[in-house]
Amino acid sequence: MNKAARLTTLDEQAIEYIAIGAAVLGTGGGGDPHVGKLIAMEAIRKHGPVRIVQLEELDDEGLVVPVSMIGAPTVMLEKIPSAEQLTKPLDLMERELGRKVDAVMPIEVGGGNSLVPVIAAAQRGIPLVDADAMGRAFPESQMVTFHLEGIPCSPVAMADERGNSALMHTIDGVWEERMARALTVEMGGSASICDYPVSGAQAKQSAIGGTLTLAYEIGRTLFEAKQEKLNPVQELLTKLNGHALFHGKAVDIRRRMDGGFTRGEAVFEGTGENKGKTMRLFFQNEFLLATVDDQPLAITPDLITLLDQDTGMPVTTENLKYGARVTVAGLPCDDKWRTPKGIETAGPRYFGYDFDYVPIETLVLKGGAAQ
């Protein structure tokens, strides 16, 4: 995507598109972007449109802070955050670091968290960076590109809606995940959080750029395909250079609770050119592994996303039902995830799948994708 086409401001239309795109990049998890969308809409209605900046525009010495929500998506649908709690961790961060935050960014572009930082940007009149630290959604807080490059997550600031807040110094992202999760439970199952405060230089080096624009483009493509009565799945794959891994129908979905996560497996019977074949998708909140005849066709950290064959709209692990006609689409992850540390952090073996990571391009060439 060329730079000229990148987002410069966030208005209501852009928020609509990003919410759809974030659900696609949520790869089956990441929570419902609806709440994040309404929060962002309200913020710009109150404070005006938000300025978007690219990583390249950041001052190397500037302070960039990700803002997100941590906790159970089901709780977030009920206990909507307060406006104050979404900026409070920034206050704590500033007090601890002794300086003002220059820009905020989403920690992940998949699901509800993609639009959560908008309120902080709107309220303080600071820009939102067109970047995130996953390029998708992942279930655990150390699964960010900052962690891969050894950037400290600390200080970590959290807040609940009552006015409670906490500032933590954890030795690494894995400990942050454990401690933040425990605190989240005490805070009632959802909390706001700022972690990985980075300099402009660190953000340029480690964040994944252009991802809000990417989400925007996904949403716009699906919306326009619908308007112009084009095949939305095809339009989207063309736009993203994505792979249609499989066209099929969900015939079996098994979910179980495991360590606080929903884990499971979905089985798809091939339709069209995939007739007679079976695809299995394995998930832990997000889709992480796709196999056909026990051969992997896409493996985490590459993105596996389910699109409704008719509308192109994303289907989540929670909403997937028997009979759903879907296209399983695969997108290459950012190169940062393809390093040994990236594979160790968010590769198949971390999630307990007995496969080695192979890039999706290689697998598709070898295995032959749906088209």
For another protein, the binding residues (CB under 8 A) are 34-35, 38-39, 41-43, 71-75, 77-86, 119, 161-163, 181, 184-185, 188-189, 249, 251-252, 255-257, 260-262, 269, 285, 319, 321-325
DSSP assigned state of 169: -
| Residue 286 near residue 73 (C-beta atoms within 8 A) | no
Within 8 A by CB and 6+ apart from 91, the residues are: none
Give the residue with the Cβ less far from another protein, 132 or 161.
Answer: 161
How is residue 40 written in tokens? 């962002």
Instruction: Give the nearer residue to another protein in terms of CB position, either 8 or 74.
Output: 74
Nearest approach, Cβ of residue 183 and another protein (Å)? 12
For 359, residues 6+ apart whose C-beta sits below 8 A from its C-beta are: 302, 332, 338
Q: Which helix H or strand E contains 156, and what residues bound it?
A: strand 156-159
CB-wise, 149 or 318, nearer to another protein? 318
Alpha carbon 333 to chain centroid distance? 12
Phi, psi of 104 (to 5 degrees): -115, 165
Nearer Cβ to another protein (82/234): 82
- Smallest distance from the beta carbon of 134 to another protein, in angstroms? 17
Q: Name the residue nearer to another protein (CB basis): 193 or 369.
A: 193
- Compute the least distance from the CB of residue 303 to another protein, in Å: 20
Phi-psi region of 239 (alpha: psi -120 to 50; beta: other; left: phi over 0): alpha
β-strand partners of 307 = 314, 327
Q: How far apart, in Å, are the Cα atoms of 337 and each of 148, 153, 207, 343? A: 8, 18, 11, 6
Q: Report in angstroms how near the CB of residue 64 gets to another protein at its nearest.
A: 22
How many helices (H) and strands (E) are present in the chain, helices listed first? 12, 18
Please, what is the minimum distance in Å from the beta carbon of residue 313 to another protein? 12
Of the two residues 307 and 360, which places its CB atom closer to another protein in the complex? 307
Q: How far is the CB of 275 from another protein (least distance, A)?
A: 14
149: buried, middle or exposed (CB in 10 Å: 19+, 13-18, 0-12)?
Answer: middle
> What tokens appear for 362 in the block?
């290689």
**35 or 369: CB nearest another protein:** 35
For 56, counting Cβ atoms within 10 Å of its Cβ (0-12 exposed, 13-18 middle, 19+ buried), the class is exposed
Nearest approach, Cβ of residue 259 and another protein (Å) = 10
